[in-house]
A and B are shown apart, each in its own frame.
Chain A
Amino acid sequence: EDKVVQSPLSLVVHEGDTVTLNCSYEVTNFRSLLWYKQEKKAPTFLFMLTSSGIEKKSGRLSSILDKKELSSILNITATQTGDSAIYLCAVNNAGGTSYGKLTFGQGTILTVHP
């Protein structure tokens, strides 16, 4: 059974801090790993990491895939209150009956205080 585990489950920081969110996975045939940000509505897509694209960056957010350790991190530097959200990690399986499906982790709830 595919499994995605995120840590920590929740995190409280102050504006300006740097945070690192973790995601580890066990899937039978890894295809890609995706990060989403969810505020009070729909999850919005942040990054997709694959074997050919193991590092992505957008502004203060960056993410790295470690295929050897079967994990990924999402870094947010100089956090702002607008970064407060649930961050979801999902893994796309490329084979078998799970082909094309995303398996999500539990999510990390990030709270940024002014």
Chain B
Amino acid sequence: DVKVTQSSRYLVKRTGEKVFLECVQDMDHENMFWYRQDPGLGLRLIYFSYDVKMKEKGDIPEGYSVSREKKERFSLILESASTNQTSMYLCASSLRWGNEQYFGPGTRLTVT
């Protein structure tokens, strides 16, 4: 079974703080993704990575950066958290392009 884990289920941070969200997958998948999920908007892609040290912007990258130093780990960084980044963050991985993506349990981030 594919397993995608995320470092925290719930996180509360203050405006202006730097925030790290970690994601680890254990199936040697090539591709990893970060989404945010907001009511009425569905899942929106923030960044994705198709190889170690490679990253591509998704649809809403502003205010975020990512890091992929190892194949199994993909980190999402909020350089200076703002209240409009309060959301559910979901990490996903897929073996190859076009394959189904497997999701982690999500991190509910609240920025106050």
**Contact surface of A with B, Cβ cutoff 8 Å:** 4, 6, 9, 31-32, 34, 36, 41-45, 48, 88, 90, 92, 94, 99-107
Contact A101 B98 (CB under 8 A): no
**Contact surface of B with A, Cβ cutoff 8 Å:** 4, 31, 33, 35, 40-45, 48, 50, 58, 90, 97-98, 100-106
- The smallest C-beta distance from A91 to any residue of chain B, in angstroms, reads 12
Q: Tell me the bound Cα distance from A13 to B40 in angstroms.
A: 20
- The smallest C-beta distance from A77 to any residue of chain B, in angstroms, reads 23
* Interface secondary structure of A, over-half rule: strand
Q: Which residues of B contact A48 (CB under 8 A)?
A: 100
What are 20 A-B pairs with beta-carbon distances under 8 A? A32-B98, A34-B101, A36-B103, A41-B105, A41-B106, A43-B43, A43-B90, A44-B103, A48-B100, A88-B43, A90-B43, A99-B97, A100-B97, A101-B45, A102-B43, A102-B101, A104-B43, A105-B42, A106-B41, A107-B42
Q: Tell me the bound Cα distance from A44 to B44 in angstroms.
A: 17
Contact A88 B42 (CB under 8 A): yes
Contact A104 B42 (CB under 8 A): yes
Q: Tell me the bound Cα distance from A32 to B90 in angstroms.
A: 21
Q: Tell me the bound Cα distance from A31 to B58 in angstroms.
A: 18
7 closest residue pairs by CB, A with B = A100-B97, A42-B103, A104-B43, A104-B42, A106-B42, A45-B100, A41-B105
- The smallest C-beta distance from A106 to any residue of chain B, in angstroms, reads 4
Q: Which residues of A contact B105 (CB under 8 A)?
A: 41-42
Contact B98 A92 (CB under 8 A): yes
Q: Which residues of B contact A45 (CB under 8 A)?
A: 100-102
- The smallest C-beta distance from A44 to any residue of chain B, in angstroms, reads 8
Contact of B104 (CB < 8 Å), options: A36, A42, A100, A101? A42
- The smallest C-beta distance from B93 to any residue of chain A, in angstroms, reads 11
